Amino acid sequence: MELLEALCRLPAPSGSEAPLTAFLLEYIEQHAPGWRVQPRVLAGEEFQDCIILCFGQPRTAVFAHIDSIGFTVRYGRQLVRIGGPDAEPGYRLVGQDSQGAIECTLTVDEQTGALGYEFTRDIERGTPLTFACDFRQTDTTVQSCYLDNRLGVWTALRLCETLEHGLVVFSCYEEHGGGTVKFLAKHIYETYGVHQALVCDITWVTEGVHAGQGCAISLRDSLIPRRSYVERIRRIARESGIAHQLEVEGSGGSDGKELQHGAQPWDWCFVGAPEDNVHTPDELVHKADIDSMLRLYQVLMREL
């Protein structure tokens, strides 16, 4: 869990992913020599702050977004949201501007709901702030801000250790309207002919998806993946014997949305562990579901 903690502690809200990209590229350089197959690494200006790892002869691509939710400093002591963070007065926020490190407190106007901060000084316009990370574990759970989606990133990196054929893609901007999967999907389809995707992300504990009962396979959220593809995934999951749950929602979205709306015929399906306390500093995931998620990805990437 040290890797997961390091990922959760690294601020990288949508638009400011570069430090996490640098961390990942260094991690890949250090650890790839121990992986079963050496991937080609695609990164650099043509991919903005995204990374594509290509293993063997790929048939399927795993998309894990590296960005997180957060806040941007506006005027006076106002904040505006990056993505859809929960906002409770008293949440501790961290950041950095030209005057130095920032650790401030979130305020919420009781009447208007307007967001602000309390701090010893004014923070410069446009500075991004993120939740202060308090990483906690028990025997059965892990809790932190940004498990969504650092846990997806962690799963993708662990998957790399044994992956023989497939693409692992680290995308940006998922929490704030997207914007990188469109060009990643185009590049992948045109370069490798791959049009099968698994969206490696974290979902919600609900009345139908329970903590500790296995990774969720989403049959739909606000969008509906193609039924024939989802049925193949369900069959592989069933035959694997790995604990998993079926999710059906009418709202919510993921990198799947950009695949659905892109100009290539991608099939996609969201496969990810559920979390409690969504988009708060206290996101909570059961370790059994993390284990199920990693094993399910290992099987799916072999069988699809």
Nearer to a second copy, 178 or 272 (CB): 178
Write the interaction track for a second copy spanning residues 216-235; mark x where CB under 8 A is met and - where it is not: ---xx-xxxxxxx-x-----
Assigned token pair, 84: 């859809």
Of residues 4, 14, 133, 255, which one binds a second copy by CB under 8 A?
A: 14
Please report which helix (H) or strand (E) contains residue 181, including its range. helix 181-192
Work out whether 99 is an interface residue with a second copy (CB under 8 A): no
Of residues 11, 39, 43, 49, which one binds a second copy by CB under 8 A?
A: 49
Q: Is the peptide bond before 149 cis (omega within 30 degrees of 0)?
A: yes
Of residues 33, 34, 76, 90, which one binds a second copy by CB under 8 A?
A: 76
Residues β-bridged to residue 142: 137, 285
Does the CA dihedral 180-23-169-152 come out positive or negative? negative
In whole angstroms, the minimum distance from the beta carbon of 77 to a second copy comes to 12
**Burial bucket for residue 114 (CB in 10 Å: 0-12, 13-18, 19+):** middle
Work out whether 84 is an interface residue with a second copy (CB under 8 A): no
In whole angstroms, the minimum distance from the beta carbon of 22 to a second copy comes to 12
How many CA atoms lie less than 13 Å away from 276 in the CB half-sphere?
A: 12
Of residues 33, 34, 45, 110, which one binds a second copy by CB under 8 A?
A: 45
Of residues 36, 121, 125, 238, which one binds a second copy by CB under 8 A?
A: 125
- DSSP annotation string for 35-94: SSSPPEEE-SGGGTT-EEEEESS-SEEEEEE--B-EEEE-STTEEEEES-----TT-EEE
In whole angstroms, the minimum distance from the beta carbon of 260 to a second copy comes to 4
Q: Please report, as ranges, the residues that interact with a second copy according to CB under 8 A.
A: 14-16, 18, 45-49, 72-76, 80-82, 125-126, 128, 173, 176-180, 182-183, 185-186, 195, 206-208, 219-220, 222-228, 230, 246, 248-250, 260-265, 267
